[in-house]
Amino acid sequence: MAVTIKDVAKLADVAPSTVSRVIANNSRISEATKRKVKKAMEQLGYHPNQNARSLAIQSTQTIGLVMPSSGDVVFQNPFFSMVLQGISESAHNKKYAMHMTTGKSDEEIFEAVIHMVQGKRVDGMILLNSKVEDKAISYLRERDFPFVVIGKPSKDAEEITHVDNDNVRAMREATEYLIDHGHRKIAFIGGSLELMVTVDRLNGYKQALKKENIPIKNEYILHEEFLREGGQEAVSELMALEQRPTSLAVVDDLMALGVLSTLDELGIRVPEEISVVSFNNVLLSEMSKPPLTSIDINIFELGYQASRSLIQKIENRTEPTKRIIIPHKLVERQSCSHQIPITIDEQNADGNENL
**Type of residue numbered 210:** K
Cα dihedral value 33, 36, 40, 42, nearest 10: 110
**Spatial separation of the C-alpha atoms in residues 294 and 262, rounded to whole Å:** 19
pLDDT tens digits, one per residue of 101-151? 888 888 889 999 999 998 889 999 999 988 888 899 999 999 999 999 999
Question: pTM score, two decimals?
Answer: 0.80
Query: Which CATH number is associated with domain 62-165+299-321?
Result: 3.40.50.2300
CATH topology of 62-165+299-321 equal to that of 167-296+332-349? yes
Cβ atoms within 10 Å of 34's Cβ, excluding its own? 16
The CATH architecture to which 5-48 belongs is: Orthogonal Bundle (1.10)
Domain ranges of the chain: 5-48, 62-165+299-321, 167-296+332-349
Does residue 152 register a pLDDT over 70? yes
Is 277 strand, coil or helix? Answer: strand
Contacts of residue 38, Cβ cutoff 8 Å, sequence gap at least 6: 22
Counting residues of the chain whose pLDDT is more than 70, the rounded percentage is 91
Q: What is the SS3 string spanning 201-258?
A: HHHHHHHHHHHCCCCCCHHHEEECCCCHHHHHHHHHHHHCCCCCCCEEEECCHHHHHH
pLDDT tens digits, one per residue of 175-208? 999 999 999 999 999 988 999 999 999 999 999 9
Is 266 strand, coil or helix? Answer: coil
Query: Per the CATH hierarchy, to which homologous superfamily does domain 167-296+332-349 belong?
Result: Response regulator (3.40.50.2300)
